[in-house]
Each structure stands twice: as structure tokens, then as C-alpha cells.
Amino acid sequence: MKVFDGVDVRNVALIGHGHSGKTSLVAGALFAAGGTNRLTRVDEGNTVTDFDEEEIARKLTISTAVAALEWKKSKINLLDTPGFNIFLHDTNLALAAADAALVLVDGVAGVEVQTEKTWSFADEFGLPRAIVINRLDRERSSFERALESVHQVFGRAAVPVQIPIGAERDFKGVIDLIHMKAYVYKPDGDGKAGESEIPADMAEAAQAAHELLVEAVAEGKDDLMEEFFETGTLPAEHIVEGLRVELAERRIFPVLCASALRNIGTDRVLDFCDQYFPNAVERGVVHGTKDGQPLDRKVSNAEPVSLFAFKTVADAFAGRVTYFKVMSGVLKNDANVVNMRNGGVERLAHIGVLTGKTIHPVTELRAGDIGAVAKLKDTLTGDTLAEKSAPIVYPAVSLPEPSIAYAISAKTRNDEDKMGNAIHRILEEDPALRFYRDPQTKEFLLGGNGQQHVEVVVSRLRKRYHVDVDLKAPKIPYRETIRGTADVHGRHKKQTGGHGQFGDCRIRMSPLDRGGKFEFVNDIFGGAIPRQFIPAVEKGIIEAAEKGYLAGYPVVDFKVELYDGSYHDVDSNEMSFKMAGRKAFKLAMERAKPALLEPVMRVEVQAPVEFAGDLMGDMNGRRGRISGTDTKGGNQVIKAQVPMSEMLNYQNDLISMTQGRASFTMEFDHYDFVPSQQAEKIIAAARAARAGEEEEEE
């Protein structure tokens, strides 16, 4: 592919709910532009941008892919993004490299939950948007109904610039409301249409839609408004000029129509991207920092080179592949740049542009363009690369913390040896994952945005790195504490001739506020216990607290006052007083009303309003407390505090309750007492498990 200047580049992200046809539209665009020699299909597993084996098997987009194509005199970088909630973090990352977005809306379902979420992502990046009502060839599809859904959620700023010719199976073309021309496509899916006059039976509807478009464009500029009042209309060239300005300012969101699967309207979508979306240098400046202070830089070839890495892919043959956007300057092949995060120098050998997994080599990439390079040493997603003499750091995209974690363990010793390195490589590719060891349960946990997210990782470990692992729900990190106070005497004595052991202490135990952990107070006066033995008493109490009392879970949020004791000149030592501290702790736990604590999560569920009642009822059934509700577009946001033990299978249950139209986030909030009935079951199960372990050891 030849080198393009930024003024001829369009970086367009395709966003929207899963199965709205983003990947199919990219496939149609590549075919229309000559990038492929036939129209590929998602259900056949041969599309250019769903090339990962997991995407092919599951028939959905898991991570962003880039498809560069030449259209007329421009280069269009299409970013095909995920549309399912658990993979939307990758969509958010991709929007950092886009300059505009096509929002796909299903012609049957209308605006869905993730359509709204990705729209809000585009808002955060200030991206101009056009809406494509897609899949209009499907049974029960309706452009009018889908448009009404768009208006309800996104407002009347969404204005059609096209209307369809025909409906459902008879959908065969589009009417361009700007130039008032019709385009009718052949049924063979070659994507080619002949320009013609508007069908007589649609002339009235087309004229009414044209007048609405003219009014919307005229409202945005004073000179156009004056012209409209004088003549009652606007010529096509003035509509084009006004629409381009108001689209860039996000005051109008044009609506187009298509059937990506039958390749109807795809070429008109590409024409729209070329003519109306801002080019890669039109945003003017990009915002960064230098030494913590704000720094703006022009998107210009004349500026020093700087890049933003927005995605990392682990390729079985090429190794680590980094997708980047040239934020400023001209990047030459074999250039040396500095990673602003760690100061390391990276040599960018064999830079290229992407069509799915294929990298086409180029000699240089200019400001505003998107490219890729393999085998960078230390560069990860979110890093900035720049010239050493002109440092700048671009802000990384913030990602949500994992909403769910599973315990992961290798199946064999061989798998165990390879697991750490394999997971590390997958973590480089997906920054939304977390891999860590729970200090209490000693389990290795893999955290992600949902069960399917974690299952994809497990499948990749097996297929890509030949590592077999077992997944299971994590152990709940319960805690123990006390509700009352105790005053006890702990004595450890072994005196059977010769040197013996003697340690004696008296302690008061009392509860602390939640989160108080542990507090030790030395109230010894007059040398009742020698100063050198007091830390041993504290250590004995801490060690006993870590092993728990009721069910083997750590004891927290308590205070111990050591106020008296006695010692023996010969037999007392540190070990004796540590043992005395342990005995005192156990006696105190018996008397201080021990209780079990459980982690409570802060949960936020976003779902269509019609599911709100059932979801709140389900939350109550999970011992949750509703803390508030809110309305966001056509969705209800439910906020609640729910015990972690009740949320382990929530992902699947939520999908079942809402037909997959809801999403949720979850993070730790606080610990609270377990109700006595549940506590008895947990304690009994823990003791049974401990007894079983002891039998195995024997």
C-alpha cells in the first residue's frame, strides 16, 4: 500500500452492540474497495478482521482489528471493535486511535444496551459519529422503528441522510437525501449500484425527509439559516458544507442505512466516510504532558515524531505486535524512539499498515495514520513512544477493574512450568485481565470482565501455548472477628527437671471498628513481664489470629491489651511467651462472642427498564441491599451491596434474566457479619474440609 498524507486518511471505528454487523460491514467495505476478491462472512469464519481462532469458533469479535483500504483518493482505516460487554474495554482502547465513529444499529432490535455504552465512550473522546441502521434485509426489520429507537436514546440530532428502498427481503437500495438520487443494487451481493432517479412511489417520502435534513443543517449556521429563509431550501453543495461542519462539531449525527451481509449500501457508507468525516489531521492538536505539565502538540508532519500504542497482540509467528497511531511527525522505517514509561529505546523495524492480521510493509507513516510493528521489547498498550529530544506522554485509557475472578491451577507439572509465562504473554495482550495470588487462600486467581472473558483466556492457553488448566470458583476470603470483650489468663508451663518452659500473661480483648485490623497495647508496669518477651506475646497472638478460631479464617478488627503476667528467671524465654500469647488468644476468642465476616461487593447493574423489577427482586434474593437507582437513556441503573458469595454465578444468571441485554460491574466494598444460619454452614464445611486434609496427611 502506498504512503498517504494525514489529510487523505480517515480513522473510523465501528462501534455498537454485538451482532449488529460491524465485522460484516468491514468485510463488505474491503470487497467493495478491492481489498478482497470475494465477500466473506462471519458465519463461515473467513472474515478478515475476525481472524483469531476464538473469534472464529465463537462467531463474535473479541478484540479490535484494523483494516486499511484505499477508497477513491483516500485511505480509510476501519477499526472493527467488540460489541459484547465483557470485551468492551478493547473498544474503549480503539477509540483513542479513531477520529470518527460509525455506530451500527440493528434494523430489528434498534438501539441496544452496548450501543449506548459505546456511544458514551465516543462522547468521552469527543468523536464525530454517524449512525448506520444495518441488517435491513432481515425479517421484521424496520428503518422507521429503528430510527425512532435512535431518536428516543440519542435525540433528534440523529438525522437521516439516506432512506431505504424496499424492506426486509425486498430491501434493494438507498436514496441519497443530499443529492436526491437513488442507488439500486443487484441481488448477487457484488456491492455495485446504478445511480437513478428516485422511484415515483417514494418521491413524496424522500422529499419530506430531504426537507427535514435541510432544516437541521440550516439551523447550525447563520448564513445557511438566512439562505433557507429566503429560498426555502439549500443547494446540495451547501448541505454538504454545512453537514460536514456540524458533524465535526457533533451537532448532527447523520443516519445511513445498509445491509452489510448482502453488501447493499456499503459503498455509500465508504463515500460518506471519505466526504464527511474529518481527516486525520483536522483535530489540530493532541493533548499530552511533559514532566507532569500539560503539553499540546500539532498533528503535523513538521512536528517531532510521537506514537501512541493502543493495542498489543500476541502472534504465534511474529511475536508481540504493537498497533499504534502516529500522533505527530513522520515515522520512518527503522526509526529509534524512546518509551516514555520506562525510558527504553525501541527500534521500529518493518513498520506497516494492517489488513486484519496481515501487515503490509511501508517505508514511512505520516502524522495521523495508524500502523503496526512487531517485536518491540518493552512497549505495552497505553505506552507513548517519542523522540528523546522532544518527550511527550499521551494519557492512557482508563479500564475497569475485573468484575469476577476464578481460581486457576495447572493440570500437570509440565503445565505448571509453562503456565506463568503463557499467562504473562496473554496479560500483555489484554490489559483488562488480572493475575494474582490471594494471600489468604493461597490460590492463583485470574480476574476478568466476565466468565466468558476468563474462558477465552483458558482456551487460548490450551490452543496457543499448549497449557491445560483447571478453572473453579474462588474460595471466598471470609474473616473472623469478635462482637464482645474478654479478660483472660494465658499460661504456658513445662517444668520437668532441668531447663523448662514458662510464660504467663493476662490480656483484655475488645472489638475494633470494621477495617481496624489489629491493635496491640503494652500496659505492663513494674516488670511483670520482661521487656524483651513482650514482642513474643504479640507475635503469638498474631500467629494464632492468622489461623482463625471458628473456621480457620484470619481474625481481624480486634484490640489486645497486655496488662499483667509473670516470668521465671531460668525457664522463661521468647518461645514460652509466644505460646502463652496463643493460649490467651484462644481463651479470649471463646468468651468474646466470635463471629464470621464476609466480603460485600458494590454492584452496579445497567439494564433496560422493563427488567428493573425482576433484577431488584433477584438482588434481594441474594441478600443484597439496594442503595439506589438511576435512569440512563432507556436503561435503569441499579446500585446495590451484595455478599460476594451470592455473586459467583451472577454473570450467567444476568444473561438469562435479560436475554443478554444487561451488564454489570462489581468491586469490593466492605466486610460485614454473616447471618447465623449461613455462618453455621460455612463453619461446618470449613471444619469438614480441614478434617479431610488431616486424614490425607495421616
Q: What is the CATH number of the domain that holds 602?
A: 3.30.70.240
Rounded to whole angstroms, the Cα distance separating 579 from 524 reads 18
In the listed set 386, 417, 434, which residue is the last one of a domain according to the structure? Answer: 386
Give percent of the chain above pLDDT 90: 69
Q: What is the DSSP letter of 369?
A: -
The DSSP 8-state label assigned to residue 532 in this structure reads G
Are 588 and 602 within one domain? no
- Does one domain contain both 515 and 645? no
Q: How far apart are CA 213 and CA 218, in angstroms?
A: 9
CA dihedral of 275, 39, 109, 201, whole degrees rounded to 10: 70
Sign of CA pseudo-dihedral 119, 125, 131, 135? negative
Q: Which residue has the higher pLDDT, 451 or 673?
A: 673
Read off the pLDDT of each residue in 96-109 and give the average, rounded to a whole number. Answer: 95
395 domain-assigned: no
In a domain, 495, yes or no: yes
User: For residues 633 and 628, what is the distance between their CA atoms, to the nearest angstrom?
Assistant: 17
Question: Does residue 1 fall inside a structural domain?
Answer: no
**Which DSSP symbol is given to 129?**
E
Please report, for the domain that includes residue 334, its CATH number.
2.40.30.10
Q: pLDDT grade, residue 694 (50/70/90)? A: low
468 and 550 fall within a common domain = no
Reference 315, options 494, 63, 52; nearest CA is 52
Query: Measuring CA to CA, which residue among 643, 690, 673, 675 is closest to residue 479?
Result: 673
pLDDT of residue 486: 96
Residue 561 backbone dihedrals phi, psi, to 5 degrees: -110, 120
What number of other Cβ atoms are within 10 A of residue 97's Cβ? 23
pLDDT the model gives residue 663: 76
The C-alpha atoms of residue 373 and residue 364 are separated, in whole angstroms, by 12
Lowest mean pLDDT among 153-157, 167-171, 494-498, 678-682: 494-498
Reported as type and span, the H/E element at residue 241 is helix 236-248
Within a domain: residue 412? yes
DSSP state letters, 667-681: EEEEEEEPPHHHHHH
Residue 345: enclosing H or E segment and its boundaries?
strand 345-348
310-349: per-residue pLDDT in tens?
999 987 677 789 999 999 999 999 999 999 999 999 999 9
**459-482: average pLDDT:** 89
Residue 293 lies in a domain: yes
Q: Considering 231, 248, 276, which residue would you say is the last residue of a domain? A: 276
Closest CA to 665 of 441, 432, 381, 407: 432
In a domain, 688, yes or no: no
Question: 131 and 248: one domain?
Answer: yes
CA atoms within 13 A on the CB side of 581: 26
For residue 576, give the nearest of 489, 487, 500, 496 by alpha carbon.
500
User: Per the domain annotation, does 150 fall within a domain?
Assistant: yes
CATH number of the domain encompassing residue 466: 3.30.70.870
Q: What is the mean pLDDT of residues 558-573?
A: 92
CB 308 within 8 A of CB 325: yes
Tell whether 692 is covered by a domain. Answer: no
Please list, in sequence order, all residues whose beta carbon lies within 8 angstroms of the beta carbon of residue 572, skipping any fewer than 6 positions away. 502, 503, 530, 533
Q: Is residue 101 pLDDT above 90, yes or no? A: yes
Give per-residue burial for 215-226: e unless 16+ CB within 10 Å, then b: ebbbebbeebbe
- How confident is the model over 244-264, as a mean pLDDT? 95
Mean pLDDT of 476-503: 89
DSSP 398: P
**Grid cell digits, residue 496:** 520437668
Asked if 79 contacts 68 with a C-beta cutoff of 8 angstroms, the reply is no
Tell me: do 559 and 668 sit in the same domain: no
Position 231 confidence tier, pLDDT thresholds 50, 70, 90:
confident
> H or E stretch including 664?
strand 663-673
Residue 124 lies in domain = 9-276
Angstrom CA distances, 373 to 50, 431, 599, stand at: 20, 19, 44
Contacts of 170 (CB under 8 A, 6+ apart): none
What is the pLDDT of the chain when averaged over all its residues?
Answer: 91
In terms of domains, do 607 and 552 share one?
Answer: no
Q: What distance in Å separates the CA atoms of residue 402 and residue 543, rounded to the nearest whole number?
A: 32
Same domain for 56 and 161? yes
Residue 245 and residue 194 share a domain:
yes
When divided into structural domains, the chain yields a total of 5
Burial 232-252 (b: 16+ CB within 10 A, else e): eebeeebbbebbbbbbbeeeb
What CATH number does the domain containing 573 carry? 3.30.230.10
Residue with grid cell 500437570, as numbered in its chain = 412
178-222 pLDDT per residue, tens? 999 999 998 877 778 888 999 999 999 999 999 999 999 998 787
Q: Alpha carbon of 482 to those of 193, 264, 592, 680: distances in Å? A: 77, 69, 6, 16
Same domain, 319 and 339: yes
> Residue 698: what pLDDT?
47
Contact 386, 308 (CB under 8 A): no
Calpha distance 447→195 (Å, rounded): 53
DSSP type of residue 644: G
pLDDT value at position 390? 96
The end-to-end CA distance of the chain, in Å, is 70
Closest CA to 103 of 85, 120, 115, 117: 115
Q: Measuring CA to CA, how many Å separate 279 from each of 98, 592, 695? A: 10, 70, 71
Final residue belonging to a domain, choices 424, 452, 472? 472
Q: Are residues 462 and 490 in the same domain?
A: no
Whether 14 and 100 map to the same domain: the answer is yes
Q: What is the pLDDT of residue 695?
A: 57
Q: If pLDDT is split at 50, 70 and 90, which confidence band does 607 have?
A: confident
Spatial distance between the Cα atoms of 226 and 239, rounded to a whole number of angstroms: 14
Do both 468 and 569 map to the same domain?
no
User: Do the bridges between strand 253-257 and strand 158-160 make them parallel or antiparallel, or are there none, so unpaired?
Assistant: parallel
Q: What is the pLDDT of residues 352-391, one digit of tens each?
A: 999 999 999 999 999 999 999 999 999 999 999 999 999 9
Tens digit of each residue's pLDDT (9 = 90 or more) over 64-85: 999 999 999 999 999 999 998 8
* Nearest of 476, 473, 438, 471 to residue 455 by alpha carbon: 471
Q: In this prediction, what percent of the chain has a pLDDT beyond 70?
A: 98
Cα 55 to Cα 274: distance, rounded to the nearest angstrom: 29
Q: Which of 286, 215, 275 is nearest to 245 (CA)?
A: 275
Does the structure show a pLDDT above 90 at 55? Answer: no
Cell of 481: 472477628
What's the confidence (pLDDT) of residue 319?
79
Strand pairing category for 501-511 and 486-494: antiparallel
Query: Given the C-alpha cell 529509534, which residue does it identify?
Result: 336
